[in-house]
Amino acid sequence: MKQFKPEQARWIWSCLIIGVILMGIYLILSLPPSGFEKFEEVAQTTKSLPEEKQEPPPMKKTAFITPKEMEEFISSLRKNTSLRDPFLGSGEKEWKTFLDELKERPPQLKGIIQVEGNRIALIHNSRYREGDEVKGFKIIRIEDEYVVLNKGEKNYTIYLKK
């Protein structure tokens, strides 16, 4: 097999590249017309078809409502629905309801001690006597094993954990 000189190899490669480029140009120019021209032909044929006029559907008769009636209706809707934050996601709603329920929960009883005949409840590492208030709960009675709390109209009994 004969080896080409570097000058001959360059000349062969140059001719090959020029041939590939010319072949590409020939293929591009010999392709059928683009699809856009076909779309234009279809559009022209559809324009020549007679247009059908469609009548709008008949309008329904509407009752006349006074502004006062409308305001009354809107105010009745406002009374029947509770207001809520529209930007609050479902996870945030659950968290908010959890926090609301947590506020209504009575505090945890840590212990009961007796000093000079008086019982003292240990709640949240603080001492409370009967009549004192803890986070909105009033202590009604302190017994040996439990404490009775009151909030609003409800009584809550919290027991010592054993």
Predicted structure pTM score: 0.40
**CA–CA gap between residue 4 and residue 12 (Å, rounded):** 10
Give me the residue spans of the domains in the chain. 1-30, 106-159
Q: With CA atoms as reference, report the closest residue to 118 among 126, 110, 127, 108.
A: 127
Question: Could you report the per-residue pLDDT of 65-108, keeping only the tens digit for each?
Answer: 888 888 888 888 777 666 667 776 777 778 888 877 777 777 88
Give the pLDDT mean for 49-64.
71
Predicted pLDDT at 20: 95
Say yes or no to pLDDT of 40 above 90.
Answer: no
Say yes or no to pLDDT of 47 above 60.
Answer: no
| Bigger pLDDT: 26 vs 161 | 26
